[in-house]
Chain A
């Protein structure tokens, strides 16, 4: 049985958010690692949506970094709004992983989780 990695990634980001909000205790958020958890959650939110989109577009076998652009461009021809949201998620993920000056906060993570959910749900509804 193949694990549904995008769903797991999304669940991880959601659990991190809920644990930071204090509505769940799945992830033990030590204050000194709080920012690291937020950055991790933002990254998983993007990858959950990206992997669902990549599969939907039958681009699973592209594994170089170029596939991120390919997925967004291909999505743009079908649904520009969806592509804009996925690209926004990528921006948030790039900031979370590369920009150590910009400090992501709970709102950034909440936004990433909601945006990711929106993108995933829209893609699933299109593929049914």
Chain B
């Protein structure tokens, strides 16, 4: 487990160093270095080598499910699981909500899109432990505002009220 967290920590530090790159470049960095399958293997080996007090058998799959939708997960799995538990969001409902959101974003016809799930980062406010789904789009401002409009229904669903969504120009 320690090895796993070290990998996550180092990848997150690495991620913060690539904030200046464009969304596609960042995706490449993450895709090549932040391998969920690699993390999954590490966790599996940890599970088989020791008994853990928390049930983490579902951890790798939930991340894989989200990443399969084309969303990069920039938080440790345990943090995501705990967040969903605290907010009473079922895993299936969360996944379906994300799927609907991704479909709407894809329908917008914007080619260069990068979606990631992360914790809020605010230099002036400590311990803001909410999650944000960040959508970076390489398009004009008018189309970004149209995207806000098309996401309004999904934002008003119960999950949308518990997770912040942000859309920013890439």
Contact = CB atoms under 8 A, between A and B. Distances in A.
Interface of A: 65-66, 68-69, 76-77, 80-81, 83-85, 87-88, 90-92, 94, 98-99, 101-102, 107-108, 110-111, 114-115, 118
Query: Secondary structure of the B side of the interface?
Result: mixed
Q: Which 7 A-B pairs have the closest CB atoms?
A: A88-B166, A65-B124, A81-B155, A80-B161, A84-B165, A111-B141, A101-B20
B164 interface: yes
Interface string B118-159: 001111110010001000000011001100100110011000
B33 to A, nearest CB: 19
B60 interface: no
Given A84-B155, A92-B168, A101-B19, 9 more contacts: A68-B124, A80-B155, A81-B155, A84-B166, A88-B166, A94-B121, A102-B20, A107-B140, A107-B169
8 contacts: A68-B124, A80-B160, A80-B161, A84-B165, A91-B166, A91-B168, A101-B20, A110-B141
Given A65-B124, A80-B156, A81-B156, A107 B141 contact: yes
B104 interface: no
Contact of B167 (A68, A83, A88, A98): A88
Contacts of B132: 87
B141 A114 contact: yes
Interface of B: 19-20, 120-125, 128, 132, 140-141, 144-145, 148, 151-152, 155-156, 160-161, 164-169
